[in-house]
Chains A and B, each alone.
Chain A
């Protein structure tokens, strides 16, 4: 099965790693024993021999083409590393990547030095068990949300580790509940404590594995933002009261984080000093929203930099309101379409860009082009696209404030705009402010 051609590179490599710790004869004997006598594959044999003879190797040792590292030593730019880690939290889910469904596994890994989020991009045939220790091979790292993230792509491999890794309690994010402002909540924050005022409540019946269950849901807010919550237990939450929720966790739906109150959750009534919060729509930069993934009821101020196709005069099915290209609806067949007006904008604030879908009334308000005028223009030019060209002229480079919910898919963040206005900046005042600041600093 094996021959010397296969053993020589292994021998040479081990000789380099174990320089001075083992003589050539013994090393060759060991190599033959592992590979030939016991049929151990080359990689594993290498690790085993290094472990046996190199007592310093427990911290980090060289393997064929990657290095075992501890979590606190990761920089976020490693191309090829190994880690031996305990799975602290594991979530297997289906995602849509450029139109293809895929199973990925994400969660949190830990070792003696710290914890770190991870993603396994080819998760179909992988099963990670919480609490078990694994050897991630040929992984790479990236910075994500200002944290190092371990990634395993197609070249990566996972094996159950022989040893176990101890993760100190304090580093496990799920072990203690962290206090957090609602505006800072994003996917993966772990176990959190939130104080907020109930803005709305509702009960929903949902089907869980064939069983009907009641979910208590609504919106909770503090002075930094709003979030949707859902609870399995009835805490008799009422509009206007302020609660402190301990041991809540966060799940994201299409990028929008949601607060979940599970069985371990503790709810207590408190008084707050938020003042009037219902009126406030929190203003955010696009990069902040991109970082979190989505947001409920936010305002963004930026410049319109593009008008996407699908903007302008469009046709809809009168029965289901779907937008259609010809006079045929995929659900209702041949129909008499009704016309509608909308814009799909790209809004860019210099920190990032998002797409924004603007309905008819706001489109009319922002561009001054009414639906009736648009229909007339299209008829006169016998070209529906003439409307979007006209709209592009009116809207590109305008500075606008848009409000609504932002969701994310694989193409980035998108806002369904509830309210929009053109907001010119007072150039003279702002320029004077800048001049004063610069004079003071120079």
Chain B
């Protein structure tokens, strides 16, 4: 049975700091990003303020990217391509700023320096009201708190296995996520997540002097980045290999590969023209390719 992947409710502080990905063995089996709190995330349900949107594609073939601020300074990075027609149509008609909710798949992007960035590819993006945004904040705070509690329970045992955790009453999914997270990241620093919850509670209950007694300066958020849009989850090393292979295939007469042909083939491999541009620059920097003239690219 192939049940649909659940949509995790999590804050950007948890999603954006995740770097470990379990890649599906084939197209049919899903990939998961594992967060420090042990969420195994394939799909998310997020909400916040759409602060920026930009069409970096064309009018005919739009490619939207945007930022959604969930709490405090936290941002989700979103990318909408041509395979998300409903989300693309919806974002085109939105003004910024606006409260939005997004259901989408998570994607990772590995930068040149090996840092991993996480973005969300919306399947749906819809306008919501302030009350619905608060509901999301509450549900996400509850969900984050329950992961923190599970993590605490799990770390009270030494080297807990999935079986141990299931014995403690964890469900299979949570047991696997937590053991994986502890293997790859070690015990999480709960202050980051508590601070996010505190911020959410302050937004919902502005008159209640919410104070969880945390040190004030906690900043584990990753650097701000601009994610290249594109329709695949290729990381840059994979794309480099693909481009190098295409350059060899297309170089039939020793003059190099014609740019337009390269672009067409790269597109077929799921690499957008923007990504191709960037990868070509990287390969030129690395001294692996050069431009014999403006219309050709050639492998050295």
Contacts and interface: CB of A to CB of B under 8 A. Distances in A.
Tell whether A pairs with B: yes
Interface of A: 75-76, 143, 146, 255, 286-287, 290, 293, 303, 305-306, 346, 348-355, 392-393, 396-397, 399, 408-413, 424-425, 427-428, 430-432, 434-435, 437-439, 441-442
A442 B135 contact: no
A76 B5 CA distance: 21
A431 B7 CA distance: 21
21 contacts: A146-B166, A146-B172, A287-B171, A306-B124, A350-B8, A352-B4, A353-B3, A353-B6, A353-B7, A392-B126, A396-B101, A408-B1, A410-B2, A412-B4, A425-B135, A431-B204, A432-B208, A434-B141, A434-B197, A438-B212, A441-B149
Contacts of B139: 303, 350, 425
B103 interface: yes
A397 B208 contact: no
B138 A399 contact: no
A146 B197 CA distance: 31
Given A431-B205, A442-B212, A350 B3 contact: no
Given A303-B7, A352-B3, 5 more contacts: A287-B173, A305-B7, A352-B4, A411-B2, A425-B138
Interface in B40-98: 45, 47, 86
A437 B148 CA distance: 13
A435 B135 contact: no
B188 to A, nearest CB: 15
A350 B135 contact: no
Nearest to A351: B6
5 A-B pairs with least C-beta separation:
A412-B3, A353-B4, A431-B204, A305-B103, A397-B101
A433 B77 CA distance: 31
B279 to A, nearest CB: 33
B128 interface: yes
Given A396-B126, A427-B138, A442-B194, A432 B205 contact: yes
Nearest to A353: B4
A430 B201 CA distance: 10
B143 interface: yes
Interface of B: 1-9, 45, 47, 86, 101, 103, 123-124, 126, 128, 131-132, 134-135, 138-139, 141-143, 145, 149, 162-163, 166, 171-173, 194, 197, 201, 204-205, 208, 210, 212-213
Contact of B123 (A306, A425, A430): A306
Contacts of A355: 4
A434 B145 contact: yes
Query: Interface centre among A408, A413, A430, A438, by most B CB within 10 Å?
Result: A438
A438 B2 contact: no
B126 A393 contact: yes
Nearest to B134: A427
Is the contact region of chain A dominated by helix, strand, or loop, or is it mixed?
mixed
B161 to A, nearest CB: 8
Contacts of A75: 163
B213 A412 contact: no
Contacts, number: 118
Given A350-B9, A435-B210, A442-B194, A397 B3 contact: no
Contacts of A413: 3
A312 B204 CA distance: 35
Contacts of B124: 305-306, 392, 396
A295 B7 CA distance: 22
A405 B8 CA distance: 25
Contacts of A306: 103, 123-124
Contacts of A354: 3-4
B6 A350 contact: yes
> Which of B128, B138, B143 has the most chain A CB atoms closer than 10 A to its own CB?
B138
B168 to A, nearest CB: 12
Contacts of B123: 306
A431 B126 CA distance: 24
A168 B141 CA distance: 49
Contacts of B101: 396-397
Contacts of B145: 434, 437-438
Contacts of B47: 397
Contacts of A409: 1
Nearest to B7: A348
Contacts of A442: 194, 212-213
B192 to A, nearest CB: 14
Contact of A350 (B1, B143, B194): B143
A431 B135 contact: no
A143 B204 CA distance: 40
A187 B29 CA distance: 25
Given A306-B123, A396-B124, A353 B131 contact: no
Given A287-B171, A408-B1, A431-B138, A397 B194 contact: no
Contacts of A399: 135
Contacts of A427: 131, 134-135, 138, 204
B135 to A, nearest CB: 6
B277 to A, nearest CB: 34
A399 B135 CA distance: 9
Contacts of B166: 143, 146
A430 B6 contact: no
Contacts of A430: 138, 142
B217 to A, nearest CB: 18
A398 to B, nearest CB: 8
Contact of A439 (B4, B162, B172, B212): B212
B31 to A, nearest CB: 17
A354 B6 CA distance: 9
A393 B135 CA distance: 18
A435 B4 contact: no
A184 to B, nearest CB: 15
Contacts of B8: 350
B7 A350 contact: yes
A303 B45 contact: yes
Nearest to B143: A350
B123 to A, nearest CB: 7
